[in-house]
Structure 1
């Protein structure tokens, strides 16, 4: 896959007790169908088989967000079937541990990766919709972490919502823009992502073209090479080194990397190495935030086991159809009627028409 390709529909390789309530920290068919979500689920299920003291320790790492309290009752209806929708975020605070990752000085927190994972009735397949972070959206009124109200605003960048009011407001924004209710929410902090890659010994990727990004310092030659955690983080963050410099080209790199990450995890004998398993699970859960209902190892494991019937060959990932904004060509807006058609299909728990998968903006 060329690193400047734009995701359409592709296949990818496979790899979700007691509840704890803790305040969240403001933190073709081949690709991201499982990426972050199933990576989290699989590793947590492995960890859940450990001794009780290990279970208790890892369980205490997970942070929970009470979406019911934060969002209230003014939300879209649940699916008319037993299907599920999960919002998956990769957050990038550029503070604390993230400040030392060598990827440039960027103030405030951002959600650099956002996926709406739709699991239809029967849980035999799944679709993930990537939302470009540069998409201009209408942010609804939200409650900030300090309890104060953040007024609604039009034409704000999607990834700025996280920094303004946290993950619950991102969930609310996605629900308002799509009319699709999010049953669950998962977030992994990018500092933990770096540690996860280092814990498994790096990830191998193959590039058809070199990437040189002066902003992040990423300098990779064409060909096959193994990336450490810091390089991997720059790889999934880079945008100036691919395509037109927008977020759209970068989405293709993220998809390619997540498949490589899953492949690396599958190759390792985690069950035969309890020490490595614990290290990986500890890094993972320390950076994991979920909705309150999933905020325990047992709940995550139960959820993951409920998806065991999903066939990797049927998993699909697409990008929310977008067009370049007429006022600011550096931003994109949801393309119509494709976006409305896509969201309608998810609301009704039915297949997405091919016409709703075509994006006027490609990032090429």
Structure 2
């Protein structure tokens, strides 16, 4: 399941969680240790978050799995973690939110011969369906809290029922957010809590990593020499938590998580782990304590389908980034281009990237609706756009909403992005089946600034202007990180 924390949060446990995510994948893709697999499946916690028959091969030719790291101080069954374990994990005091600090989309063709793992940085500024534009790691928490308030209004008082049903809605909100961002349909979902990382790394005897240079950081507790080394437990936590002192901050931390996950996959896929009864038993036990999967996922059939996968066939990438220090109402975030992300994901998944570019302004009719209490706002914005060559459409008031958004017909996201850019950037863009082809619909909420830009339109001080910043994230031409060998990183 899912949630989100502030950038300067000292107790950044989300990165710790990330490292158990691959354990579900690698244990299910090997085809080894069927007796242990059966025991694992029987003991997994499930959640009703995805509709449909997950036992069938996906009709689009590939399975897309959303792996989520939860900042949770309970185990998969909802039992609070002991205080001594929280202290060992340096988890800090709970802030009342469930944060999803690690998001990885795994794409596996139905032939089971390869896998692409795509990291979505936790601070990516995206459209959250129903909530406007925010950091992606807040999608789960926003969906959960809205559902909980609604359930309470309906008279639901049982705390266990409230948690179960609101958590499921939070998960569904995050799934919808990732689908809207990537253009992929999520077939399966797996989440892990922070306990899992600690126990899984210990269960398999640690993971080998490699650093380009020695590093020391008092915030995360990192204190590592240069070169190859095997780490587990608290040292592994420090390795994936460190952000200070890294050239690209959070983006380098994402790379750290990827190489650790690759090393973990390599270790678990090795016969030395899967044929060792004690290690396998400890690994299964750790997964059962910390992992939740969607109901209906036939993991045994999936494992048989994937049994030929090897470490070198699992490749890790990161989505493209425009500006890693983007100033927003939610604080510093990571700016991305939704069209670029979709094309990048399409190319990695073997689909033909959209060649679409936005039509000329004179070919786009823009309907502008004022959902705020600012008198005359829709008319003013419509005039601004017509002055730039766009065709004036309907101008009217509409139902109040909290966040501004620019919508386009399905397949015409580039048109929405062009209109958002014409208004100063920083406004959420999304496809909407109700919008007529050739039209763009602008819904203006109180967060829209009347000077022609949104509240999230400017880069952080000292940053490059949107569109001019160097690419900081994934690039289809980059060498991906794989689970075959050890890659040295910052």
Q: Does TM, normalized by the shorter one, top 0.5?
A: yes
Q: 1:67 aligns to what SS in structure 2?
A: coil
The residue correspondences of 1:45-60 to structure 2 (distance < 5 A) are 46=32, 48-50=34-36, 55=38, 58-60=40-42
TM-score (norm 1): 0.71
Deviations 1:236-294 (CA, angstroms, capped at 9, x unpaired): 2322242232x211111111112222333345634553233212111112211111112
Q: 1:293 aligns to what SS in structure 2?
A: coil
Separation in 2, partners of 1:265, 1:340: 31
Closer, same or farther: CA 59–315 of 1 in aligned 2, 3 Å: closer
The answer to whether the Cα contact below 8 Å between 2:71 and 2:101 also exists between their aligned partners in 1 is yes
Which residue in the other structure is 1:12 paired with? none
Greater displacement, 236-245 / 188-197: 236-245
Separation in 2, partners of 1:257, 1:307: 22
Separation in 1, partners of 2:24, 2:232: 21
Separation in 2, partners of 1:346, 1:206: 26
Which residue in the other structure is 1:212 paired with? 216
1:109 offset after TM fit, Å?
Answer: 2.4
The residue correspondences of 1:99-110 to structure 2 (distance < 5 A) are 99-100=86-87, 101-102=89-90, 107=95, 108-110=97-99
Deviations 1:202-221 (CA, angstroms, capped at 9, x unpaired): 22322121232222222222
Q: 2:43 aligns to what SS in structure 1?
A: coil
Which residue in the other structure is 2:351 paired with? 350
Q: Does 1:235 align with 2:239?
A: yes
Separation in 1, partners of 2:288, 2:225: 33
* Larger RCO (CA within 8 A; separation ≥ 6): 1
Q: 2:243 aligns to what SS in structure 1?
A: coil
Which residue in the other structure is 1:41 paired with? 28
Q: Give the count of matched residue pairs.
A: 303
Structure 2 residues not aligned, in runs of 5+ = 4-13, 75-79, 145-169, 355-468, 475-489
Q: Does 1:279 align with 2:282?
A: yes
Deviations 1:11-54 (CA, angstroms, capped at 9, x unpaired): xxxxxxxxxxxxx7989xxxx9x9455324257x545324xxx9
Deviations 1:57-107 (CA, angstroms, capped at 9, x unpaired): x445311121246xx9xxxxx975332211111222256437330255563
Which residue in the other structure is 1:332 paired with? 334
Q: 2:296 aligns to what SS in structure 1?
A: helix
Structure 1 residues not aligned, in runs of 5+ = 1-23, 73-77, 141-151
Closer, same or farther: CA 167–233 of 1 in aligned 2, 3 Å: farther
Which residue in the other structure is 1:172 paired with? 176
Cα RMSD of the aligned pairs, angstroms, is 3.5
Greater displacement, 91-100 / 212-221: 91-100
Greater displacement, 300-309 / 337-346: 337-346
Which residue in the other structure is 1:61 paired with? 43
TM-score (norm 2): 0.54
Closer, same or farther: CA 264–314 of 1 in aligned 2, 3 Å: closer
Q: 1:90 aligns to what SS in structure 2?
A: strand
The answer to whether the Cα contact below 8 Å between 2:2 and 2:174 also exists between their aligned partners in 1 is no
Q: Which has the larger radius of gyration?
A: 2
Which residue in the other structure is 1:305 paired with? 304
Separation in 1, partners of 2:193, 2:33: 19
Closer, same or farther: CA 25–339 of 1 in aligned 2, 3 Å: closer
Closer, same or farther: CA 244–346 of 1 in aligned 2, 3 Å: closer
Q: Does 1:124 align with 2:113?
A: yes
The answer to whether the Cα contact below 8 Å between 2:346 and 2:352 also exists between their aligned partners in 1 is no
